[in-house]
Amino acid sequence: MLIDTHAHLYAKAFENDRAAMIERAQQVGVQQFLLPNIDESSIAGMLELEEEYPGRCFPMMGLHPCSVKENYLSDLAWVRKWLDQRDFIAIGEIGIDLYWDKTFVEQQKAAFLQQVEWALEFDRPIVVHARESLDLLIELVKEVGDSNLRGVFHCFTGNVAQAEAIMELGLYLGIGGVVTFKNGGVDKTLAEISLDRIILETDAPYLAPVPHRGKRNESAYVQEVADKLASIKGLPTGKVAEITSENAQKLFNLPIL
């Protein structure tokens, strides 16, 4: 069994073949899909998938850092409203993105810390987006200084020292298609660390692994990530799937199928 712990299956990229895409994933053993929220517009699609695939698709709630603007407080208000209304598997996708735009860095920090506070209040893991902001986010989590905080640094592409710092904080590393990229460097990092804090993801429809790089990503391709990780660790793919799925079930308190 495989678990895709980060997939935007509600995205427009899947509007013509969403059911078939999910079926392809299930055929290769992907049995559960975790859906990170982006902004207010992505909520309906997430909840529809949850309803259509009960016990398989699990929505998160949060405000993506690329959606944090000058009006972020009003956006956080609807995040809080949803958290008060019903349960979500995690608080995410939250974090800081310094790749596209650095205009709202302080607002991104404030939004991240507020949502971390809510994760602690609701006892939910955080799913952290850290693009060109990995060290900054590691420091922010350290400053929170709460041993009850748990979560994952999604799409981890850092070095060994950064991986160790995240794991020392009690958080996990989300590994996706970048691990298959020839010059990505993640393979060298993963060769040096154990599997006990690693979970698998696709970030579909983005960041498709080799041999699909440059095309639309989909949840079935988490198998390619597992295969690559198995090659790095010198283990059967089935063992990697078993360990990483158990890690995901533990982190997100997922039902065991």
Task: Quote the pLDDT of residue 60.
Answer: 98
Set out the domains of the chain in order of their start, with CATH numbers: 2-252 (3.20.20.140)
Task: Quote the pLDDT of residue 115.
Answer: 98
Task: Quote the pLDDT of residue 184.
Answer: 87
Whether the Cβ atoms of residue 17 and residue 25 lie closer than 8 Å to each other: no
Task: Quote the pLDDT of residue 257.
Answer: 78
CA distance 173 to 169: 11
Written as tens digits, the pLDDT of the chain (257 aa) is 999 999 999 999 999 999 999 999 999 999 999 999 999 999 999 999 999 999 999 999 999 999 999 999 999 999 999 999 999 999 999 999 999 888 999 999 999 999 999 999 999 999 999 999 999 999 999 999 999 999 999 999 999 999 999 999 999 999 999 999 998 899 999 999 999 999 999 999 999 999 999 999 999 999 999 999 999 999 999 999 999 999 999 999 999 87
How many CB atoms are closer than 10 A to CB 127? 29
DSSP string of 15-49?
TTTHHHHHHHHHHTTEEEEEE---SGGGHHHHHHH
Question: Exposed/middle/buried for 78, CB within 10 Å: 0-12, 13-18, 19+?
Answer: middle
CA atoms in the 13 A half-sphere facing the CB of 58: 22
H-run or E-run covering 11: none
Task: Quote the pLDDT of residue 101.
Answer: 83
Q: What are the DSSP E strand ranges found in 60-105?
A: 91-97
Task: Quote the pLDDT of residue 256.
Answer: 84
Whether the Cβ atoms of residue 183 and residue 200 lie closer than 8 Å to each other: no
Whether the Cβ atoms of residue 30 and residue 219 lie closer than 8 Å to each other: yes
Task: Quote the pLDDT of residue 106.
Answer: 97
Closest CA to 246 of 197, 190, 191, 203: 197
Task: Quote the pLDDT of residue 103.
Answer: 92
Task: Quote the pLDDT of residue 7.
Answer: 98
- Backbone torsions φ then ψ of 70, nearest 5 degrees: -65, -25
